[in-house]
């Protein structure tokens, strides 16, 4: 196991890239951002917007996938108010949407947009979430399929020439060893690590037929044949960062978590990440078990790279919070897929990554944590 020489991101992230000096792809992107000609990039974006308006044959120039959160609010307002595009927003409603999530998607609608909200059959979804928990210990895997596919499906059906997505994880997470790469082409979203497997694997679930999976896949070949384009907005905008988007979106009505929220209940200190469903908290716990790090690691690395905290502070936050999750969220998830908490933990332990081992007392120990503790004590 190793961690980035600049930030503290571990090499257990799927698709992560490290250079010969031990620096992760996300830190390399931050350095690259300092020398990019952002004026030229923005002109390129304006030309794409101009192309979309010239090639629009219907009511909309672009389709934008939205949750109502910080990134999608930034995408929508940038596309309409700066680029002059006629936007159709596409919302794939998550299972168990939170009150903050409801507020934020309504806020985005009330900022003056047409919005299509999609929710796949909840009975089908429950079966697929349960299957992904036992097969991959990734209960939000199938929701990623519908989250991404919805916008592309709508763009095809409405003959919309341009799809605008937020951030390319090949850049912001350094996960460039996946199909999405590090360029601006978001048509390759179906090659994201989480959803790159063939959707037909879900046909093995009892009672699931091909027609049940309509909202879980998009036809990239048809879209490309029709001349549709899809872009990652963060490729073109220097200011497209988690923190900047959060500040911008709060100024336009986005609601964050309260300042006094219980950090340990969700395993992070951030007020503005992943607000729309509580299933995130359980999934991040399971990510911690499978890959040795959770969402606090992600958030601390973002803040370190952007200069808001020191490396030492990042390590302290991760050691304190990473992998924490309230029993309230675990019980809610277990009730949802009809399993006991004992079965939950028994299954989770089967997927512990190679960074985990048991000490002489039978307690699980995490090598990534050990590396951070060692560095913290130096």
pLDDT digits (tens, 9 = 90+) for 336-375: 999 999 999 999 999 999 999 999 888 999 999 999 999 9
Q: How large is the average pLDDT for residues 7-32? A: 96
Q: Which CATH class is domain 38-235?
A: alpha beta
Residues in the chain: 378
* pLDDT bracket for residue 100 (50, 70, 90): very high
pLDDT digits (tens, 9 = 90+) for 286-323: 999 999 999 999 999 999 999 999 999 999 999 999 99
d(C-alpha 180, C-alpha 164), whole Å: 15
Question: Is residue 95 very low, low, confident or very high in pLDDT (cuts 50, 70, 90)?
Answer: confident
Q: Taking all residues of the chain, what is their mean pLDDT, rounded to a whole number?
A: 95
Q: Is the dihedral of CA 367, 368, 371, 373 positive or negative?
A: negative
pLDDT digits (tens, 9 = 90+) for 224-256: 999 999 999 999 999 999 999 999 999 999 999
Cα–Cα distance for residue pair 378/363, rounded to 1 Å: 25
Residue tagged 């037909």 (tokens): 200
Higher pLDDT, 376 or 269: 269
Contact 235, 171 (CB under 8 A): yes
Share of the chain above pLDDT 90, in %: 93
Tell the burial category of 286 from Cβ atoms under 10 Å away from its Cβ (0-12, 13-18, 19+): buried
| Confidence check: pLDDT of 197 > 90 | no
Longest dimension (CA), the chain: 68
Tokens 């063939």 sit on residue: 198
pLDDT in tens, 56-92: 999 999 999 999 999 999 999 999 999 999 999 999 9
* Cβ contacts of 265 within 8 Å, gap of 6 or more: 281, 324, 325, 326, 328, 329
pLDDT confidence tier of residue 284, bands split at 50, 70 and 90:
very high
Alpha helices in 64-164 (DSSP H): 70-77, 99-110, 122-136, 141-157
Among residues 79, 109, 70, 74, the alpha carbon closest in space to that of 91 is found at: 109
- CA distance to 174, 266, 350, per residue, from 302 (Å): 11, 18, 30
Per-residue pLDDT at 192:
85
Tell me the torsion sign for CA atoms 90, 14, 321, 307: negative
pLDDT at 378 over 70: no
- Looking up tokens 């101009």 gives 50
Domain with CATH 3.40.50 in the chain: 38-235
Torsion region of 60: left, alpha or beta (phi above 0 gives left; psi -120 to 50 gives alpha): beta
Distance CA 173, CA 249 (A): 22
């Amino acid at each position: 196991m190793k961690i980035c020489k600049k930030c503290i991101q571990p090499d257990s992230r799927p698709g992560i890239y490290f250079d010969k000096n031990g620096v992760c792809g996300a830190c390399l992107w931050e350095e690259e951002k300092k020398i990019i000609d952002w004026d030229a990039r923005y002109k390129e974006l304006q030309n794409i917007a101009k192309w979309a308006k010239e090639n629009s044959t219907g009511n909309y120039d672009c389709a934008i996938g939205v949750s109502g959160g910080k990134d999608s609010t930034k995408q929508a307002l940038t596309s309409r108010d700066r680029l002059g595009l006629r936007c159709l927003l596409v919302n794939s409603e998550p299972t168990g949407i939170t009150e903050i999530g409801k507020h934020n998607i309504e806020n985005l609608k009330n900022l003056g947009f047409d919005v299509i909200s999609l929710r796949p059959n909840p009975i089908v979804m429950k079966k697929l979430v349960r299957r992904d928990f036992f097969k991959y210990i990734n209960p939000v895997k199938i929701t990623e399929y519908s989250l991404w596919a919805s916008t592309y499906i709508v763009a095809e059906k409405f003959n919309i020439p341009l799809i605008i997505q937020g951030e390319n994880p090949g850049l912001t997470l350094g996960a460039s060893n996946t199909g999405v790469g590090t360029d601006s082409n978001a048509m390759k979203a179906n090659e994201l690590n989480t959803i790159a497997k063939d959707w037909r694997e879900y046909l093995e679930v009892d009672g699931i037929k091909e027609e049940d999976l309509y909202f879980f896949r998009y036809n990239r070949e048809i879209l490309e044949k029709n001349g549709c384009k899809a872009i990652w907005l963060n490729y073109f905008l220097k200011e497209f960062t988690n923190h900047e988007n959060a500040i911008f979106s709060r100024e336009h009505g986005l609601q964050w978590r309260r300042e006094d929220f219980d950090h340990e209940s969700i395993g992070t200190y951030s007020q503005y990440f992943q607000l729309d469903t509580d299933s995130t908290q359980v999934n991040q716990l399971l990510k911690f078990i499978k890959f040795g790090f959770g969402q606090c690691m992600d958030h601390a690395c973002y803040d370190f790279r952007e200069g808001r905290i020191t490396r030492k502070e990042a390590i302290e936050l991760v050691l304190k919070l990473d992998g924490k999750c309230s029993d309230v969220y675990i019980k809610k998830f277990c009730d949802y897929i009809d399993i006991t908490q004992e079965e939950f933990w028994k299954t989770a332990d089967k997927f512990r990554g190679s960074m985990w081992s048991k000490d002489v007392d039978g307690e699980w120990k995490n090598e990534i944590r050990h590396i951070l503790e060692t560095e913290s004590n130096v």
